[in-house]
Structure formats: structure tokens, C-alpha cells
């Protein structure tokens, strides 16, 4: 089984804002970026196409013209009370400092930890239908990193050291 993991296109959010599971508008470059993604995926047959239910992923999926199977487990990390705050504001708070020191285990206030997100992505992977073909997943950088941790057995730090650009396609294989 081969995964084609696509990060959504650029968003219309100022740099430095935490937006995790908040539905945010897409940038004006959406059509150009999505056409580039469509071109890079052309000629690849997908047995299944899954998508985060957040608008920034659903809009991309609908423009790519695939039958989408939305799945809640493909949402970005739930930053809880930190959604729409600046990363500086988060880091300056005591709970922010605690979270940055151990984001793997420490949950965001009324949100989740990275470990909790890993569990939901692992659950998604475990529930996939058997196929020797390709699966397209339209999702977020944090989820793509979770796939790298789970399928490539990467340490979490290594996954976070690898940048994932807007519109990037990451291809991973799952051994049966």
C-alpha cells in the first residue's frame, strides 16, 4: 500500500498564528497551487481518497475532483484554547512553556497532546481497507508527520525537523 499524503494549500492567516483545527480561509493562491497538485498527481490511480473534514482540505479535495471520504482522525492537532493565538503568546504562558518542553505527552488546554494525535492517526491506518494500490490522503502537516513516525518508525523529533510545505506531496509505503 502506497500513501500519497498531500498537505493543504496556503491559508489566509498571518504568519505566527496557531490555527490547528480552526477552519480558516485559503490564500488567493489556492487555484494555482491546487492545479499544481492536480498536475503532480495526474496519472496516478487511487483506490481510496481520504480527507480531513476541515474546509482547507475539503476544498482542495473537491477541486482535485476525487470522491472524498472525510475522516475526523485526519484533522490537525487540536490546540484547544490556543487556537488563533500567536505562537509567542502561547510560548510566554506557563502552560505553553510546559507544552513546548513535552508536546508529545502534554496536552494543550482543552486540546490534545501529540501522542493523542498519533493514536488517532494510528487508528485511521489500522481501519484502512486492504489494498495493494494507492491511497490519497489530503490532510495537515502534523498528521503527515504522524504518518512518518508510525510508518517509517521515525522519532517524533526527526519528523518535526523535516519541513512540510503547503501543497507538498509525501509518498510513504506501508509494508503488509
pLDDT computed for residue 123 by the predictor? 98
> Mean pLDDT of all residues in the chain?
96
Flag whether pLDDT at 12 surpasses 70. yes
Instruction: Supply the pLDDT for residue 52.
Output: 98
Does the pLDDT of residue 136 top 90, yes or no? Answer: yes
User: According to the model, what pLDDT value does residue 17 have?
Assistant: 97
Per-residue pLDDT tens digits for 40-67: 999 999 999 999 999 999 999 998 888 9
Q: Total structural domains in the chain?
A: 1
Short-list 18, 50, 27, CA closest to 166: 27
Please provide residue 126's backbone torsions phi and psi, each rounded to the nearest 5 degrees.
-65, -25
Asked whether the predicted pLDDT for residue 155 surpasses 90, the reply is: yes
Residues 134-155, mean pLDDT to the nearest whole number = 96
Judged against a pLDDT cut of 90, whether residue 22 lies above it is answered with: yes
Predicted confidence band at 153 (pLDDT cuts at 50, 70, 90)?
very high
Span 85-95, pLDDT tens digits: 999 999 999 99
DSSP bridge pairs for 50: 69, 137
pLDDT for 176 equals 57
93 is in which domain, residue-wise?
Answer: 2-173
Q: Which has more pLDDT, 176 or 31? A: 31
Return contacts of 60-69, CB within 8 angstroms, 24+ apart.
60/6, 60/8, 60/9, 60/30, 60/34, 60/138, 61/138, 63/30, 63/31, 63/34, 63/38, 64/34, 64/37, 64/38, 64/138, 65/38, 66/136, 68/138
CATH number (domain holding residue 27): 3.40.50.1240
Report, as an integer, the average pLDDT of 141-155. Answer: 96
Amino acid at each position: 500500500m502506497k500513501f500519497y499524503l498531500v498537505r493543504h494549500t496556503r491559508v489566509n492567516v498571518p504568519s505566527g498564528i496557531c490555527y490547528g483545527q480552526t477552519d480558516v480561509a485559503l490564500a488567493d493562491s489556492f487555484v494555482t497551487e491546487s492545479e499544481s497538485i492536480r498536475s503532480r498527481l495526474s496519472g496516478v490511480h487511487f483506490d481510496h481518497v481520504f480527507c480531513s473534514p476541515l474546509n482547507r482540505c475539503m476544498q482542495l479535495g473537491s477541486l482535485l475532483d476525487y470522491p472524498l471520504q472525510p475522516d475526523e482522525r485526519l484533522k490537525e492537532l487540536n490546540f484547544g484554547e490556543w487556537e488563533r493565538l500567536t505562537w509567542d503568546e502561547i510560548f510566554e504562558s506557563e502552560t505553553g512553556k510546559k507544552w513546548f518542553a513535552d508536546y508529545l505527552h502534554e496536552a494543550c488546554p482543552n486540546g490534545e497532546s501529540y501522542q493523542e494525535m498519533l493514536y488517532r492517526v494510528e487508528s485511521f491506518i489500522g481501519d484502512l481497507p486492504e489494498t495493494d494500490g494507492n491511497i490519497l490522503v489530503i490532510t495537515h502537516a502534523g498528521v503527515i508527520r504522524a504518518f512518518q513516525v508510525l510508518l517509517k518508525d521515525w522519532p517524533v523529533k526527526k519528523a518535526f525537523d523535516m519541513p512540510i510545505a503547503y501543497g507538498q506531496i509525501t509518498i510513504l509505503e506501508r509494508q503488509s
